[in-house]
Amino acid sequence: MLHIKCPHCGMRSQNEFSYGGDATVKRPELNKEVTDQEWDNFVYNRVSPRGKHFELWQHLSGCRQWIKVERDTATHEIFKTYKANEEIA
């Protein structure tokens, strides 16, 4: 079982969280011409690295806040967690 340190509530079990995918994906800017390729990259294409991965989780059964988690996809080691509005260092 993963133990995720919610930046608001502290260390909690994985069971309280739901997963939200790659946190590095950026929506194309509003009011700007968007190419099909840019839209494709935003909606569908993912790097899905083996190793360090920045991802979104929601503390669904806790404070209900979205957070960012830096986790290793091969070992499941969690290095650091961030509030949703914090920039990834």
Partner 1 sequence: MQKYSIFSLVKNALTGHQNWDLAWKDPNPKEEYDVVIIGGGGHGLATAYYLAKEHQITKVAIIEKGWIGGGNVGRNTTIIRSNYMHDENGLFSEFGMDLWRKMSQDLNYNVMFSPRGIINLAHSDAQMNAYARRGNSMRLNGIDAVLLNREEVKELIPMADFSDNVRFPIFGGLMQPSAGTARHDAVAWGYARQADSMGVDIIQNCEVTGFDVSAGKIKGIRTSRGNIKAKKVGLCVAGSTNILAEKLNMTLPIETHLLQACVSEPIKPVLDKVVTFGAGHFYVSQSDKGEMVMGGDLDGYNSYAQRGNLPTLQHVLTEGIAMMPFLSKLKMLRTWGGIMDMSMDGSPIIDKTHIEGLYLNCGWCYGGFKATPASGWTFAHTIAQDRVHELNAGYSLNRFSTGHLIDEKGLGTKTWIS
| Interface with partner 1 (CB under 8 A) | 1-2, 14-15, 18-19, 21-22, 36-37, 39-41, 43-50, 53, 55, 71, 73-76
What 3-state DSSP class applies to 37? helix
Using the minimum distance from each CB to partner 1, give the nearer residue, 7 or 57: 57
Q: How far is CA 64 from the centre of its chain?
A: 14
Min dist. Cβ of residue 45 to partner 1 (A): 4
| Cβ–Cβ under 8 Å, residues 42 and 28 | yes
Min dist. Cβ of residue 88 to partner 1 (A): 16
DSSP 8-state class, residue 14? G
